[in-house]
Amino acid sequence: MHQPLDALIGVQMSQSGGFNRARVFELIHLFEPVSRAEIAARLDLTSATVSNIVSELISRGYVTQLGRRGNHRGQPAIELGIKADAAYTVGLHFEHGSVAGIVADLKGTVISRQRVALAPLPSPRIVLDALIHMGLELIQQVEFSKIIGIGLATVGPIDQAAGSVTRTDYTSDWDDVAMRGPLREAFELPVFMDNNATAGAIGEYWYGRGRSYQNFLYVGFYSIGLGGGLVLNKRVYRGTGLNAAEFGHMLVSAGTDGMNSPDYLENYVSGHALRIEFGDDILDTLDDRINNNEPAMMQWLDSASHVFANALVSVDHLLDLETIIVGGQLPPRFFKALLERVEDVLDPLYMHGWTRRSTLQMGNTGLDSAVMGAATLPIYDAFSPDSERGKSQPYLNSVRVSAAGGPM
């Protein structure tokens, strides 16, 4: 039923033709409507090469001609775009307390969505059963032959090679729990897996604010945890162990937090930190507390913003980023209140002579950041040239060919 990844788009690094097809597809996706001449100029390819690749992508059904560009002298250029309904992906997201899922087309339009609340700190069996039940329902919403894969965003850290969650900070029974294998067996589809913050970064790059930047950090707030995803030179950076950018586990002091564990940023700025200060029901009242300028909440935000700003500047000093995008599962009002305070204290923290600090902004994938990122995983790793995981993870050879028009 499945064919190799290079049958889908030919992104084997040793094959320049496949590599260029991936580059052309990615550029059309990011910048449509775009002409053949603009593609050639941006990618430094010959007009003949681009023309041949575009013809192939059109014949396979993944790219479409949108019509001629108006208001230009001479023969107007033909604009190109992605054929949205050529293929679909399913995105699933697990975090402590809930699972969510969507079906999306190639342009990221959500066809169907679901969300189910779970008991706090659920067991692996409960989570897997919920993900399988949800995924099977979502798969039925579109033509099965057009689904190219399932993406799973999950709490981390994870073992990419084994497809498992190695552990979590908030429960003891998650210890090398296999996720990808059981889901692949249940759905009979390829399953792509990443931690939720890296998935969120990919989603912001492919569909959100990140598409305009070469280098950025995505910081994801979830119901409990705090994570990070890093994009360098328009490629997600996963690191040697494929768990890079664990932003929430940056050390904020040389000591411990009083519980014989390292003093991590997550203990001061996260859903977990909010629960410690205000109780387990804080997310239900967070909007109202901020809107009403509750003194205790304002004090917490003031304190958290200083710690958060220190961490952001440390990352920017290290990497010299263009922007830092903040998003996730907490309410937009929370992000607005936190980032306004961070902006007020950032500048004095930079070293003297630092010529440019990164901009700071809210993501525009909203509460769907992780699940949209999950739905992006099969597309990103199939269609994006030179992805970190594409170079290092052999399980990608099971990417499914959609029925849009045959393998690319």
| 110-145: pLDDT as tens digits | 999 999 998 877 889 999 999 999 999 999 999 999
Architecture (CATH level 2) of domain 5-84: Orthogonal Bundle (1.10)
pLDDT of residue 67: 86
- CA angle, 156 then 159 then 160, to 5°: 105
**8 A C-beta contact, residue 206 and residue 216:** no
Q: What is the pLDDT of residues 269-302, one digit of tens each?
A: 999 999 999 998 998 999 999 999 999 999 999 9
Cα 211 to its chain centre, rounded Å, is 12
Q: Give 267: exposed, middle or buried? Use CB within 10 Å, 0-12, 13-18, 19+.
A: buried
Low-confidence ranges of the chain (pLDDT < 50): 1-16, 387-399, 405-408
**Contact predicate 75/134, CB 8 Å:** no
Fold of 86-200+369-398: Nucleotidyltransferase; domain 5 (3.30.420)
Residue 383 confidence (pLDDT):
64
Sheet containing 177-178: which strands, arranged edge to edge?
Answer: 158-159, 164-165, 177-178
pLDDT value, residue 396: 35
Q: What is the pLDDT of residue 122?
A: 84
Nearest-10 Cα torsion for 63, 93, 203, 3: -40
- What are the residue ranges of CATH 3.30.420.40 in the chain? 86-200+369-398, 212-364
Please give the order of strands across the beta sheet that includes 216-221.
235-237, 226-232, 216-221, 323-328, 359-362
Nearest by Cα to 251 from 231, 265, 269, 241:
265
How would CATH label the architecture of 212-364? 2-Layer Sandwich (3.30)
DSSP state of 378: H
Distance CA 268, CA 279 (A): 14
